[in-house]
Amino acid sequence: MSLDHQRETQFNREGQLRERQLKDELRKLQSFMNRDPFVSVLVDGDGMIFEDDMIRRGETGGKEAAARLWNEIKDYVHEKLPDVPSECRIVTRIYANLKGLADVCYKSGIVERANLLEEFYRGFTGSKILFDFVDVGPGKDRADEKITELFKLHLSDYHCHHIFFGCSHDNGYARLLEQYTEPTLTKRITLLEGVPFERELNSMRSQYTTVKFEDLFRTSKINLYNPLQNHASQPISSQPARAPSDIAAAQSVYQSPYQPIAGNNNPSPAPSNSSAMNPKAPSWASTANAAAQLASPPPTPTPAMSQPATSEEIPRNKYGQRIDPPTVYDREVVNRVRNLKLCNVHFLRHDCAYDPCTHSHKYKITKNELQSLKTLARMVPCYYGPDCDDPKCIYGHRYVNFPSAPSHLANGIPSLSTVRQS
């Protein structure tokens, strides 16, 4: 009995010692895991663009943008995310094609010189140690791929307590978010809204928390139809308005990849639906005349203006309203083509003016895919609706109550017509 008692005593001592060692190791491991907590801010800078007034101030505006973003995130974490440690750091990555974005900002009149955007992001990056802007260069989906991989890495990182994801302009990110629908993951993701969420992302909003930081990011897409709107110091000669067919031909040149807003000084409120519109633009003649008066204007494309079409060239009903021929499509092919990011203007009109264009021109499209691309283009209502007389117009003409037309789309495929077909 004495021997058994000694063995039991020794076993208990060894067990207690081992337990203390394991507790110490667990405490050290927990301490290590709690070190350097951070929240991640991932932004696709090709579509989530800071407000114009900050960009115009170059490096100073970049520093202000970084400070405001840092404060907004810090306040949001403190108020809405009590489980996130108060000492957490904010790691921000913005990915974009700097040259392409700078050219667009210059051509649209946001900045007076293209290199202001470079100065802006230099100020943004230099103002905070963990804030970085990454120039991905030209090329299809370069920013998307980098953001996607970093999103996955941070979501599986124990040190990353939350991800703020700026992607409201691009339906392609819906494919990524669809992989993470478990509540344990979705509660760690907040979607940042700049421009209104695109249709597929909008349908997923109920699964995620969303936030919109006022007066920080643009709430409308860049307007390329009025490229001289902010060069007010340059005189612009008045010109008679062009026929709708002329304007439509000019509009289509700028259709890819940035979807513009109405080009006037008092634009109407943006539609709540995220589907892109192709609104009215100033006359091509007045735009070209104003461009000629700039000291060093960017190259301006000169699209061939089509003559007003006759009723034999464009199908119309007995009321004189333009109608679209019936479309035969495969829903699976349409959904696949939607994710290819093809340039509608290049493949359907063959006159894309972007160099480089951020949408694909090199894809070897099949006949079936081309038909599906026509279907996708027709989902965007033509501004002139049934009155359009441009034979090359690639948009839809069956919706008459613009801009509420997208309400007639069923699962992204045109269905009900509001224009009588006979």
Q: Would you state the structure tokens that stand for residue 316, as one six-digit string?
A: 């119309």
For the beta sheet containing 38-44, the strands, ordered from the edge strand earlier in sequence to the opposite edge, are: 131-135, 89-96, 38-44, 160-166, 189-192, 209-211
Asked if 249 and 225 count as a contact pair (C-beta separation under 8 A), the reply is no
Could you give the CA distance from residue 365 to residue 346 in angstroms, rounded to a whole number? Answer: 12
Residue range 52-91, pLDDT digits in tens: 999 999 999 999 999 999 999 999 999 999 989 888 999 9
Contacts 24+ apart (CB under 8 A), 289-298: 289/236, 289/237, 289/239, 290/228, 290/231, 290/234, 290/236, 290/237, 291/227, 291/228, 293/234, 293/235, 293/236, 293/237, 294/228, 294/231, 294/234, 298/103, 298/106, 298/107, 298/227
Asked if 288 and 300 count as a contact pair (C-beta separation under 8 A), the reply is yes
Q: Would you state the structure tokens that stand for residue 350, as one six-digit string?
A: 């063959």
Regions of the chain with pLDDT less than 70: 1, 29-33, 224-312, 383, 398-422
- The one-letter code for the residue type at 144 is D
Q: Which of 292, 311, 277 is nearest to 407 (CA)?
A: 277
294: helix, strand or coil: coil
Could you give the CA distance from residue 221 to residue 47 in angstroms, rounded to a whole number? Answer: 8
169: helix, strand or coil: coil
b/e 146-168 (16+ beta carbons within 10 angstroms → b): bbbebbeebbeeebbbbbbbbbb
Per-residue confidence (pLDDT) for residue 173, from 0 to 100 = 94
Per-residue confidence (pLDDT) for residue 19, from 0 to 100 = 83
- Residue 87, number of CB atoms within 10 A of its CB: 9
Could you give the CA distance from residue 174 to residue 200 in angstroms, rounded to a whole number? Answer: 6
Residue range 333-355, pLDDT digits in tens: 888 888 888 888 888 888 787 77
- Residue 206, number of CB atoms within 10 A of its CB: 7
Per-residue confidence (pLDDT) for residue 230, from 0 to 100 = 43
Per-residue confidence (pLDDT) for residue 396, from 0 to 100 = 85
Residue 268: HSE in the Cβ half-sphere, 13 Å Cα cutoff: 9
Write down the pTM of the prediction: 0.53
Asked if 185 and 210 count as a contact pair (C-beta separation under 8 A), the reply is no
